[in-house]
Structure 1
């Protein structure tokens, strides 16, 4: 059975004062309830939100709590800050505290959440928790996305879409020209076409995207199709969606062709990459600076893809456009 996961903005809650902890708890609990969690499981989500928000205030004084649904019955929470970091192993021991408290927060999070991961250095901390209903058979999917509109506009000119089938997945990232409602209309038109047949021949798929986006501003579009059985990745891009393959000790950019899908482009030539299993694929719109290098973040490439997306957004968001960072492990996904 496959999964079709549509684009959705990351919900961002500012954590700057103790009064905002309660708001974070209620917002996270409501998100869980709306996605089908029962009262007990929604309470687990609320507990984790409380501990993550409290941890931000204790260790960094201020930061953000990012919320989103995983697409396979899960709720994702990521605490992001620019504090001085901390020793993770020590903080996971109940009773240890760097903030003069009882020191039970991080240990509680790691026990309650089905997925827990942290990255911390001198630039700050990103702490991930994913929770699923106790009765759910869903397994964690090693992908992550951080998507934000300019100035928190309800309309976002970026779109992403992930389709998962046994042994393979296909993902698209689109960036409509400019930002606001017209850019959103262009990106969503492309997403609607992609969702219909995400595994279609790349050249034909881009022709369909071009037709489907005709009459809009158009967009930069990238599509990556991964086959775990063949251990191969096919990448096709038109415009300035950034793409990188991250492997052990190496990183390489993936080339796109010039043009604007829906307006004018000469060709959409796919590029095939073999023996990519175990590597990480990162796609990003031009709202993210391109000068980042994961080698500057020791150990980050081994952390959960959702943490990588959150850290890159924190440190390299341009702040003058919509931004999407999509990160996925190249492996068979069982959602």
Structure 2
């Protein structure tokens, strides 16, 4: 099945004052060191992350950063900067002129792009910006990822009760989102059980896999769980879920909802059922827990479906996420 891309090891930072810049820089450089980056490569990561964090402090509203191993290449560092600030009216000017906003280190987004092995930016004037950066020890770009996800705990919790996982190959992809009931350690343990079961049995069709997940969660707090299997050649999506995981097939013109049945995996459920759909080329499958409102409208995000899965997931988490619950969102491209 290939490597499993999953939640875990995410470190979230509020970036609201100057002291947070050093915290984010040190965390990114420390992670790079554990992944085998040399001194020069670590410093490159630190400079780019500092610049992104400085921009958040100077201009952002609700600025946050996520730093983690790159899910699709664990020997790389991924950093995401999210804000609800003024946005960038002309991204082409930012790259072309090496534009740097006042009060930052002076390298600008163009400098960040040169230091990162891969990068992506999505910005809407008046609504904010999401910057995705990936760093490798040798500066070679990682393979283009077709799937990514984010999980964020409620408030000051240190663990998240929501989780995602995906096996992705050129032919098929199998994705799961799990929302452990409540939050805290007991919810996180339910999601860890689901992740272990998915890793062991992710080759199964959706309903047999969901049955395995239901049994594995027996005795836990229980969870809402949904799984989707994508056949890339045909665009066929097979979907099954228990509980309030939201699933969508998304394209620039709109979205189609995917059906989950009522219940709680590990406790009680109705007879499980698989539903089939056809995803158009260049669409995406988006799955998320109820830590995100289901009322988001893709028409309010012009051009978002062309961005990388990590930036798509981060944008939806920023704008549809609630801080009153754990949150998790996964974005899977149907075609590269």
From the superposition, tell whether residues 237 and 47 of structure 1 become closer, same or farther in structure 2 (CA, over 3 Å): same
From the superposition, tell whether residues 108 and 280 of structure 1 become closer, same or farther in structure 2 (CA, over 3 Å): same
Shift of 1:116: 1.4
CA contact (8 A) 1:94 1:103 kept: no
Match for residue 28 of structure 1? 28
1 CA distance for matches of 2:44 and 2:105? 20
Question: Does 1:263 pair with 2:267?
Answer: yes
Match for residue 67 of structure 1? 67
From the superposition, tell whether residues 101 and 144 of structure 1 become closer, same or farther in structure 2 (CA, over 3 Å): same
2 CA distance for matches of 1:182 and 1:101? 42
Match for residue 235 of structure 1? 239
Match for residue 316 of structure 1? 320
The answer for unaligned runs of 5 or more in structure 2 is none
From the superposition, tell whether residues 62 and 185 of structure 1 become closer, same or farther in structure 2 (CA, over 3 Å): closer
CA contact (8 A) 1:94 1:104 kept: no
2 CA distance for matches of 1:63 and 1:100? 16
From the superposition, tell whether residues 91 and 203 of structure 1 become closer, same or farther in structure 2 (CA, over 3 Å): same
Residues 1-80 of structure 1 correspond to what in structure 2 (within 5 A)? 2-8=2-8, 10-60=10-60, 63-71=63-71, 72=73, 73-80=75-82
Question: Does 1:130 pair with 2:134?
Answer: yes
2 CA distance for matches of 1:247 and 1:30? 38
Question: Does 1:151 pair with 2:144?
Answer: no
Residues 178-257 of structure 1 correspond to what in structure 2 (within 5 A)? 178-257=182-261
| Structure 1 counterpart of 2:92, from 83, 89, 92 | 89
1 CA distance for matches of 2:252 and 2:127? 23
From the superposition, tell whether residues 307 and 137 of structure 1 become closer, same or farther in structure 2 (CA, over 3 Å): closer
CA contact (8 A) 2:292 2:317 kept: yes
Match for residue 288 of structure 1? 292
More deviation in 239-248 or 7-16? 7-16
More deviation in 155-164 or 193-202? 155-164
Q: What's the TM-score once normalised by structure 2's chain length?
A: 0.91
CA contact (8 A) 2:194 2:216 kept: yes
CA contact (8 A) 2:222 2:265 kept: yes
2 CA distance for matches of 1:287 and 1:195? 24
| Secondary structure in 2 matching 1:93 | helix
Shift of 1:96: 3.1
Could you list the per-position Cα deviations for residues 225-253 of structure 1 after superposition, in whole angstroms to 9, with x for gaps in the alignment? 11223432211111100111112412111
Shift of 1:320: 1.4
| Secondary structure in 1 matching 2:31 | helix
Q: How many residues align?
A: 332
| Structure 2 counterpart of 1:117, from 120, 126, 132 | 120
More deviation in 274-283 or 120-129? 274-283
Could you list the per-position Cα deviations for residues 270-290 of structure 1 after superposition, in whole angstroms to 9, with x for gaps in the alignment? 122235332111111011111
